Chains A and B, each alone.
Chain A
Amino acid sequence: MRKILSFILILTLAMSTFLVGCGAGNEDSADKGNGEAALKVAMVTDVGGVNDQSFNQSAWEGLQRAQEELGVTVSYKESNQDADYAPNMEQLLDENNDLIWAIGFKMGDTILAEAKNNPDQKYAIIDYAYEETPENLVGVVFKAEQASFLVGYIAGKMTKTNKVGFVGGIEGVVIDGFDYGFQAGVKYANPEVQVLRQYAESFTDSAKGKAIANSMYQDGADIVFHAAGGVGDGVIEAAKEQGKYAIGVDRDQNDLAPDNVITSAMKRVDNGMYNITEQLKNGEFPGGQTVVLGLAEGGVDIAPTSDKHVPKEILDEVATLKQKIIDGEINVPFNAETFAQFK
C-alpha cells in the first residue's frame, strides 16, 4: 500500500513540474503571436531530414530567406519514417500555420488527404503534380532535366576517358528527369561518350553511393553525376579520395569537395519555397495549380561556382544552350520515351 502511495506521490510531483512548465511555455508563444502577427509558414521534411546536404536543406534555406526578407515566422518538422508524415502535418495544423509545406513527392497522398480534410488550411508540396489540385493546395515541380542537360553537356565536353557515370536514388518520375536529361546533355556534347548508370535503391545510404562511384571510376569513368540525396555524399567522397570529378545535385555542392565537384545541377527548391511564400504574403497564393519552374523561371540552373573548374569556352556554350532551352529550340527529354525521340 505504502509503495503504491509513494509512486502516486512521485508521479504527482513530476506531473506538477511538467504542468507548470506547460503553462509558462504557452504564455510565451502567445506573447510572440500578439506582438508581430506575422505569417507562419512551416515545412515537413521527408525521411532525409533537414541537414541532408541536398533537397530538404535547400527547402529550409528558402524558408529561412523568407524569414529574413519577408518577415514571416518559419519552422520545420522532421520525419523519421513514412508513418510520421500525417501526424507531423496534424501537429503543424494545430500550431496555426498559414501555409504548410510537404518536401518531396513521398508525401503526395498524405498532403492531398490533409488538404481535403482541412479546406481552410493552405498547403503546398514540392515535386508533385496532381491531376486535380484542390483550391487550397499548390504543387511545385521543377524541370530538373534542363539543369541535368547542362551539366551533362559539361561532362560530355570535359571527360577525357569518354566515359561518365550517373548514380540515381530510387527510380521514379523525378529522378528520371535527372537521368535522361543528363544522358541527353552528354550525347549532345559528344555522341561518343558512354554513360554508366546505376541506381542505389536508396536516398540515404551514402556507403552504397561511395561503392557505386568507386566501381564507376575503376571502370574508367572520370566524371560522375548523382541525383540521389544523401547517397550522393558517398559519391562525392569517392571522387575526393580517387581525385576524380563529381557533379552535385539540388544545391551547389562544391563546398563538400572544392577540388572535385566541378558543377551542380541546382534545383532551386529554395526559390520555389520563397516565391510561393512571397505570393502568399501578397495575397496571390496560386491555390489549385501546379507551378512549373524551369530555367526561364530561375527554378533550376547550374552552380555559380562552376567557373572554378569548367573552362570558360564550355561555360559560354552552356549559356547559349541555356538560351536555346528557354526559347524552346531544344526540348530536353525527361523520361525514356522522350529520350528515344530526342536521339
Chain B
Amino acid sequence: MDKAKNSKLLSMFSGTFGFTIISILIGLGIGAIVLLIAGFNPIEAYGIMLSGVFSKPKYIAYAIIYATPLIITGLSVAFAFRTGLFNIGAEGQYIVGALVAALTGYFFNLPPFIHVIVVFLFAATAAGLWGGIAGFLKARFGVHEVISTIMLNWIALYLNNYVVNLNGFKKPQSEASYEILNTANISLLSEWKLSDAGREWLSNFPFLADLMRAPVNFGFMIALLLALIVWFILNKTTLGYELRAVGFNKYAAEYGGIGVKKSIITSMVIAGALAGLAGAVQVLGVTNKVAVLAAMEGYGFNGIAVSLIGANTAFGNVFAGLLFGALNYGGPKIQSGLQAPSEVVDIVIGTIVFFIAIPGFIKMLLTLRSKKRGDTNGR
C-alpha cells in the first residue's frame, strides 16, 4: 500500500512543473518555521500576503507590474543560459536600457506610437551593445562573461549616475531626470484617469476605478510578446538551433560547423537587448524617469532567480516572473500587517525563493526515497 502510494506520488510530480509546486510548498513551510521562531503566526502572515496580492484589483495589477521587468530580465538570463553563458550582467544592461529609454523618451519629439517604438529600438540597441561587449571579450580574448558582466554592471551604474546628474537632463531640486514626454508613455490612459471627466466616469465602475489606481500599462503584453519571440528564436529558427547547440557542447557544435565565437556574441547581444527592454518597459510604463542609483536595484539579479525557477524556458519564465512579482509585492505587506521587523520578512521571502529555485534538489530527494524502499516502479 505504502509502496504503491509512494510510486504514485512520484509519478504525479515527475514533471518539472510538479516539482516546482512541491518546492513552493516546502519553501512556504520553511518560511513558516522561520516566522514561528521569530514569534509570528505564519498562517496569519501568509494570509496577509495572499490577501495583499489578490484581495483588490489594484493589488493584482501591482503584482503584475512588479513581475513585468522580472519576466523580461529572466528571459535575458535564460536566453544566454541556453547558449551556455551566465549573464549576470542583466542588471547593468537593464540600467543602460532604462537610461537610454529615459533619454530618448525626453529629448526626442515624435508622434505618439512611433515615439514608443523608437525608444524601444534605441534602448534595445544600446543595451544589446552593452551585453555584446561581454560577448566580444569572451569570444575574442576568452574573458569569462561572469567577470566582465559584473564589472560592466558597476560601469553602467555609475554611467547612469553621471548622465542623470548632467545639466539639462536632471530635474532641478531632485535626484532624478526629467520625466519622459507623454508621447512615449505606455501607461493606459494615464492622463485621462486623473482628469475630472475620467474620475467621474470611473466612479461609476468601482472595479475599474480601483484597478486604474495602479499604473496599469502595456508592459505585461510586451513581456508576453517577448517570451513568444524568445521561444520562437530558440526553438524554430536556425539561429536558435545554433545557439542551443553551442550551449549543449561547444566543441561538438564547432565540429558541426557552427561559428562558436559568433554565437557567443550574438547570444549576449540578444540577451542584453532583452534586459534593456525590461528597463525601457519600466521607464515608459511605471517610473517615467531614471534616478541616481545608490545601489543596484536588483531587477537583473532577480531575473537570474526567475530564469532558474522557470527552468530557462520562455514560458516558464512568465510564470516564475509572476510568482516572484507577487512575492516581492505581497511579501513586504507582512511587515506592516504584523508589525514584524522587515528583516524577518526578508528572511522568509529569501527562504521561499531559495526553495523554489531548487526543484532539482526536491526531485533528487523524492527519487532517493523511492529507491531506498526498493520501489523500482518509482520511475
Interface residues of A (CB under 8 A from B): 2-3, 6-7, 10-11, 14-15, 17-26, 28, 42, 47, 49-50, 75-78, 80-84, 86-88, 90-92, 94-95, 105-106, 108-109, 116-117, 170-173, 201-205
Contacts and interface: CB of A to CB of B under 8 A. Distances in A.
Given A91-B333, A92-B336, 5 more contacts: A15-B50, A18-B47, A83-B286, A87-B329, A108-B174
Interface residues of B, number: 49
21 contacts: A3-B13, A11-B21, A19-B47, A21-B44, A21-B46, A25-B44, A25-B337, A77-B335, A77-B336, A80-B298, A83-B286, A83-B287, A83-B297, A84-B332, A87-B329, A105-B173, A106-B291, A117-B213, A172-B174, A172-B175, A204-B295
Given A86-B215, A90-B213, A202-B294, A21 B18 contact: no
B35 to A, nearest CB: 12
A24 B47 contact: yes
Contacts of B174: 105-106, 108-109, 172
B48 A25 contact: yes
Nearest to A91: B333
Interface string B12-23: 110100100100
B175 A170 contact: yes
B287 to A, nearest CB: 6
A204 B286 contact: no
B47 A21 contact: yes
Contacts of A172: 173-175
Contact of B339 (A47, A75, A106, A201): A75
A10 B25 contact: yes
A47 B336 contact: no
Given A17-B43, A77-B336, A94-B56, A82 B173 contact: no
A25 to B, nearest CB: 5
Interface in B293-320: 294-295, 297-298
B253 to A, nearest CB: 35
Contacts, number: 122
B86 interface: no
B332 A78 contact: yes
Given A3-B18, A108-B174, A201-B158, A90 B50 contact: no
Contacts of A88: 332
Given A50-B342, A83-B282, A201-B158, A20 B336 contact: no
Contacts of A18: 43, 46-47, 50
A38 B50 CA distance: 27
The 5 A-B pairs at the shortest CB distance, nearest first, are namely A21-B47, A21-B43, A22-B47, A81-B297, A18-B50
A90 B332 CA distance: 13
Given A6-B12, A87-B62, A90-B213, A203 B294 contact: yes
B291 A82 contact: yes
Nearest to A5: B12
Interface of B: 12-13, 15, 18, 21, 25, 28, 41, 43-48, 50-52, 56, 58, 62, 66, 158, 161, 165, 173-176, 194, 213-215, 282, 286-287, 291-292, 294-295, 297-298, 329, 332-333, 335-337, 339, 342
Given A86-B215, A90-B213, A94-B56, A75 B294 contact: no
Contacts of A10: 21, 25
B287 A82 contact: yes
A78 B335 contact: yes
B173 A20 contact: no
A298 B115 CA distance: 51
B102 to A, nearest CB: 13
A37 B15 CA distance: 53
B60 to A, nearest CB: 12
A78 B66 CA distance: 16
Given A3-B15, A6-B12, A25 B47 contact: yes
Contact of A78 (B165, B194, B342): B342
B42 to A, nearest CB: 8
Given A3-B15, A90-B213, A205-B295, A22 B339 contact: no
B215 to A, nearest CB: 7
B12 A2 contact: yes
Nearest to B49: A18
B46 A76 contact: no
B203 to A, nearest CB: 13
Contacts of A50: 342
Contacts of A2: 12
A90 B58 contact: yes
Nearest to B328: A80
A118 B66 CA distance: 23
A42 B46 contact: no
Contacts of A171: 165
Contacts of B15: 3
Nearest to A131: B173
A3 B44 contact: no
A168 to B, nearest CB: 13
Contacts of B287: 82-83
A134 to B, nearest CB: 14
Contact of B298 (A23, A49, A81, A91): A81
Given A87-B62, A108-B174, A170-B175, A24 B44 contact: yes
